[in-house]
Amino acid sequence: MTPSKRISAITGQGSDGWEVFYRSRAMIAKGIDVVELTIGEHDIRTDPQILDAMHAAALAGATGYSLVRGHPKLRETIAARIQSQSGVATGPEHVLITPGGQAALFAAHMAACDPEDIAVHIDPYYATYPTTIRAAGAHPFAIQTQAQNEFCPTYNDLNQAPQGARSLLVNSPNNPTGTVYGPDTIDDICRFVCDRDMWLISDEVYDTQVWQGSHITPRNSPHMAERTMVVGSLSKSHAMTGSRLGWVVAPVDVIEKINDLVTTTTFGVAEFIQLAGLFALGLGPEFENQIAAPFRRRREIALKILQDFPDITTVPPSGAMYLMVDLRKTGLSGEAFANRLLEDHHIAVMPGESFGHAAAGHIRVALTIDDARFAEAFRTLCAYAQGIVDG
């Protein structure tokens, strides 16, 4: 027997671009000391007071079936938070809780797309975007952006999408580039989806990690609330990656249909985790700033080190926990450089090619180890690259 064509087609054809990561993990399993600058995982764990709240909720009995749509107080709190940030009227009826942002991305595409529809996304992209679209039965179409435009899509870029495309997925602050979309980019995105009568799916899980400028949600642009679904999560904002607590914000009629979907798939999120999330949100912006602060510091460390290496450049990240380093002057692909760096210096980074075609010749560096070790590893990386350029 063979698995269905539907599930076999999720990953598409060829490499998934993560071989360097798998190699680094295999080396670590053998006892080799590898500096991992690969995945977006905080170097701190979930705060003990959040875990205490989770434990207390479980002991108090919040271990049975939860409401599929999510705990009412949590949905109310998320709605109020989003309304405060965006200025768009948002009630709990607009919010549905999911097991992490990834489940929210899948649910949003299931709500937006019929089988065989075309779903557009931006390149570079988070690795699961095309696979999520295929899992929803649609066909991914990537819009390539340019490093010289800070990886921001323009209206002309977006207009390369096929006529009849059903949805557009955007992500700001962006993984993997660290780009934060400014007003002009947001205007182009909104104008495009309105002109094409498309759904917009806005992945905003890094909205608390902004180093320059400000986070703008397209949902607050004219005529956008009725065609926008926002994906959010506590993974990055509260270092709760393993708790799997996310949400979709969408028009009420869409939330009703997503509720039907999750009733037949995840059937909700554990209530004790939701109550821990409610407690975490109650810690306020100061706590969120504490979680984000290490990545802001390491960004500054990296930009200072880069001043000593004129041929190794970056588009300075305006947000998120990553740095996209341009290594094209080495003459190597991002994948070739990452493999050589891992072999010669036991430093693991992600090739730009892992995130599509637009970042070919780049590497993504995660700002996710302590400051001193990060500075040492990043300087070694830059010196290694500069040595290749100098021959």
- What would the pLDDT profile of 44-62 be if each residue is shown by its tens digit? 999 999 999 999 999 999 9
Q: Which of 47, 50, 45 is nearest to 279 (CA)?
A: 50
Q: Which of 135, 152, 134 is nearest to 143 (CA)?
A: 152
Backbone torsion region of residue 173, taken as left when φ is above 0, otherwise alpha when ψ lies between -120 and 50, otherwise beta: beta
Percent residues over pLDDT 90 in the chain: 95
Query: Above 70 in pLDDT, residue 218?
Result: yes
Please tell me the distance from the alpha carbon of residue 222 to that of residue 215, in angstroms, as a whole number: 17
- What would the pLDDT profile of 164-173 be if each residue is shown by its tens digit? 999 999 999 9
Query: Above 90 in pLDDT, residue 15?
Result: no
What residue ranges of the chain are covered by domains with CATH 3.40.640.10? Answer: 48-284
User: 3-state SS of the chain: helix, strand, coil percent to 5?
Assistant: 45, 15, 40
CA angle 212, 215, 219 (to 5 degrees): 160
**Predicted pLDDT of residue 288:** 98
What residue ranges of the chain are covered by domains with CATH 3.90.1150.10? Answer: 5-45+286-390
Asked whether the beta carbons of 362 and 354 are under 8 A apart, the reply is no
DSSP per residue over 50-105, as a string?
A: HHHHHHHHHHTTTTSPPPTT--HHHHHHHHHHHHHHH-S---GGGEEEESSHHHHH
Asked whether the beta carbons of 224 and 191 are under 8 A apart, the reply is no
Q: Which residues are registered as beta bridge partners of 230?
A: 202, 249
Q: What number of other Cβ atoms are within 10 A of residue 344's Cβ?
A: 10
**Predicted pLDDT of residue 13:** 66
Please tell me the distance from the alpha carbon of residue 118 to that of residue 133, in angstroms, as a whole number: 9
- What would the pLDDT profile of 353-386 be if each residue is shown by its tens digit? 999 999 999 999 999 999 999 999 999 999 999 9
At residue 11 the predicted structure's pLDDT band, cuts being 50, 70 and 90, is confident
Q: What is the mean pLDDT of residues 87-101?
A: 97
Percent residues over pLDDT 70 in the chain: 99
Query: Above 80 in pLDDT, residue 145?
Result: yes
Residue 66, CA distances (Å) to 70, 72, 143, 273, 351 in order? 7, 10, 39, 10, 41
- Cα-flanking dihedrals φ and ψ of residue 247, to 5°? -160, 160
Find tokens 């590893």 and name the residue.
Answer: 377
3-state secondary structure of 146: coil
Distance of CA 292 to the CA centre of its chain: 15
> What residues have CB less than 8 Å from 266, skipping those under 6 apart?
98, 99, 103
Q: What is the mean pLDDT of residues 292-308?
A: 98
Overall pTM surpassing 0.85 (yes/no): yes
3-state secondary structure of 2: coil
CATH architecture of residue range(s) 48-284: 3-Layer(aba) Sandwich (3.40)
Query: Above 90 in pLDDT, residue 289?
Result: yes
Helix axes 334-345, 19-29, angle to 10 degrees: 10
Find tokens 């000593």 and name the residue.
Answer: 308
At residue 294 the predicted structure's pLDDT band, cuts being 50, 70 and 90, is very high
Q: What is the mean pLDDT of residues 80-87?
A: 94
Instruction: Specify the fold of 5-45+286-390.
Output: Aspartate Aminotransferase, domain 1 (3.90.1150)
Residue 380, CA distances (Å) to 54, 159, 332 in order? 41, 41, 17
**Predicted pLDDT of residue 16:** 62
**Predicted pLDDT of residue 14:** 60
Q: What is the mean pLDDT of residues 291-309?
A: 98
**Predicted pLDDT of residue 225:** 97
Interior/surface letters 75-94, b for 16+ CB within 10 angstroms, e for the rest: bbbbbeebbebbebebebeb
Average pLDDT across the chain, whole number: 96
Q: What is the mean pLDDT of residues 210-219?
A: 97
